[in-house]
Copies of this chain bind each other. A is one copy, B any other.
Amino acid sequence: MGRLEFQKGLLFDELTSAPYTLKFWSHDRIQEACVIADKNYHTLADICRLNALTMITFAGSGHIGTSFSAAEIITFMKAISCHEDTKLKEFFNCQFFSSKGHDAPMLYAALHAFGEIADEEIFKFRRAKGLEGHPTIKTSGVITNTGSLGMGISKAKGFVYANRLSKISRKVVVLLGDGELQEGQIWEAMPGAARDALHELVVIVDSNKIQSDTWLSHTLDLGNVKERVESVGWQFLECQGNSIDELGSALEKSISAKKPTWIQANTLKGAGVSFMEKFDPNGKFYKYHSGAPTEHEYEIAYKEILQRVLLNLGDTPTSKEKMEVEAVTYNDLPKHRTNSIVDVYASCLVELSTKRSNLFVMDADLSYDTGTYKFARTHPERYLQCGIAEQDMVSMAGTLALSSWVPIVHSFATFLSMRACEQIFNNATEDSTIVYVGFLAGVLPGMPGVSHQAVTDTIHMASNPNMRLFEPSNKREIELSLLRAVEEFGPSYIRMQSIGVVQSEPQEDLDIGTIWNLGEAAIIICSGVSILEQAQKAVTLLKSAELNVSLLTVFDINKLQNSEALSFISKHSLIVIIENSLPGNLLKAKITDAVLNKSENQSEIYSLGLNSLPICGQNEEVLEFHGLSAYKIYQYILAKAKM
């Protein structure tokens, strides 16, 4: 473990070491630059860009593109809500939040600039007890939890009604993404605001025209947004969203309206950094939607923004020389995993689909994250990009399945299992063959926070009595999960833990899982790549403590009951099941039932798992907190084995 040290000694923290220098603007330095006092908001936005860039680079992940496109909107909204503006005094003390949520780095940078977040917090972005990957009310200045798209207008309406009830006259401003407008709840929320003439409500759309994968127009065009908005009784305004002047004028026009206002703010994704503003898809994904920049990218981007900042400050009393920024040195950035299970899944899907011409693949603007882009290239005629519209996708899958196609439906586990919960149930009442594949399942990655760490997905999916559950841990298990899901009649859920993996060779392949190690002292049973990785490390640690334990992954959970694996499991007097979901007793219950049925069995059965929703943080922090790290597993088994 290296350490992080501010040149001015503001922060002193233990972190892994890094090879290059990250720069940072302290709150005092921003004040000193007089940008806020002088209402030099373009420069303020740029300074916030610098801090957001550092934050994301330091955290090893985060959303640059949307943070930068929304920089002027967010900093200006914070400015006029904190400092009374002559023309916009109605926005003083207004309630402002971002519905899309993944622009959190820019939001935090702005909160920091206005003193709501302390300097040291900036370096706790996406870390345990720090600033969460998507905003939550734990952070001062954040007024509601966001991160799952589409809820923003409804939430803003709730604030307006609450203010009216409390006789508080106050504007409520919500920032939406344009990709987010594909969610039905946005349009569901609008008529009510018109009915009740919620003139306090202002929606600003950060219209950067690029969503998670690519151009919005290449994904799912929104139609004529102006007409869509006006036809439900709202005022529609349009402006350049990276221009403070234009934003100000639009906000001014909203003041006298007797109805809610929608400001379509045209922005550039990655605005402020030339190479991030450019995007020519040509079959590629927009590179700066999420993830950390490389060292080279960081340096170039920082330089471009900093030069603009210094130039703009050139004529102010604060000289260029004085504006030398603080520097943070550390020796190592969190590594990105290379051998990703998503790529393995992507290949398995293509392979199976080549053999089976009745498979139809659907995705909701996450083709990179679910690996379906590969299928889209090989079998475009059997691929449907649905946009950020999970309910629509799932209901379409329902009737495709009734028409002798086998839809394989992809999204993040949390959105799929909960946003489309009733649609999945409706399909299940038809008992047709549909494969739901939920990525980002379980506590890892821990950085995006609780809106993305699906842990209740299993229980939601399993509530459909005819749903089969799969949770594979390697290529063979993925292949078999897919094969069984499409071959056997009825719906299935394949739960995918998305992180990269380093795996040793299996010892033995079973019908319902894989034996990774053979030992006599105990057996560890788990599912999915991220827990398997920890369990494998725990096995090694236990070996060094002269305790040999077996390790089994189970991917075909429903078939466990009658499988050959049971007698293998029963041989062990100590059974420890690790579950990466809430409530964490599904697998344990199945194993307990099955093993106890073998009447002479005397095994002791324990389980390790979650007692609460997962915390946000770096993966190691999250595993440690929830007792799921290799070391915690090792300790647990050691203690049980010695009892």
Contact = CB atoms under 8 A, between A and B. Distances in A.
Q: Is the interface of A mostly helix, strand, loop or mixed?
A: helix
Interface string A373-398: 00000000110101101011111111
Nearest to A421: B421
B163 A403 contact: yes
A1 B429 CA distance: 32
A534 B186 CA distance: 44
Contact of A188 (B382, B391, B450): B391
Contacts of A137: 402, 430
Given A183-B184, A456-B463, A398 B144 contact: yes
A450 B228 CA distance: 35
B426 A145 contact: yes
A220 interface: yes
Nearest to A386: B192
Nearest to A357: B165
Contacts of A186: 184
What is the total number of copies of this protein in its complex?
2
Interface in A107-166: 136-137, 143-145, 148, 150-151, 153-159, 161-163, 165-166
Contacts of A21: none
Nearest to A397: B158
Which of the listed residues A150, A226, A395 has the most CB atoms from chain B within 10 Å of its own CB? Answer: A395
Interface string A166-189: 100000000000000011111111
14 contacts: A145-B426, A145-B429, A148-B422, A151-B398, A151-B423, A155-B395, A155-B398, A158-B397, A158-B402, A162-B405, A189-B392, A191-B223, A226-B231, A465-B582
Contacts of A190: 223
Interface stretch (A7-15, A301-309, A412-420): A412-420
B392 A185 contact: yes
Given A154-B392, A166-B404, 5 more contacts: A148-B426, A154-B391, A165-B405, A227-B228, A421-B422
A395 B191 contact: no
Given A387-B192, A459-B459, A465-B582, A395 B184 contact: no
Given A183-B184, A192-B389, A402-B143, A158 B396 contact: yes
A192 B396 CA distance: 11
Q: Top 9 closest A-B pairs, CB basis?
A: A184-B188, A184-B184, A158-B399, A162-B403, A154-B395, A227-B231, A418-B422, A187-B187, A421-B421
A389 B189 CA distance: 8
A391 to B, nearest CB: 5
Contacts of A163: 403
A460 interface: yes
A12 to B, nearest CB: 32
A456 B451 contact: no
B429 A613 contact: yes
A599 interface: no
B144 A191 contact: no
A617 to B, nearest CB: 15
A613 B431 CA distance: 12
B421 A460 contact: yes
Contact of A159 (B188, B223, B399, B463): B399
A425 interface: yes
A220 B165 CA distance: 20
A151 B390 CA distance: 12
A161 B385 CA distance: 12
A230 interface: yes
A612 B463 CA distance: 11
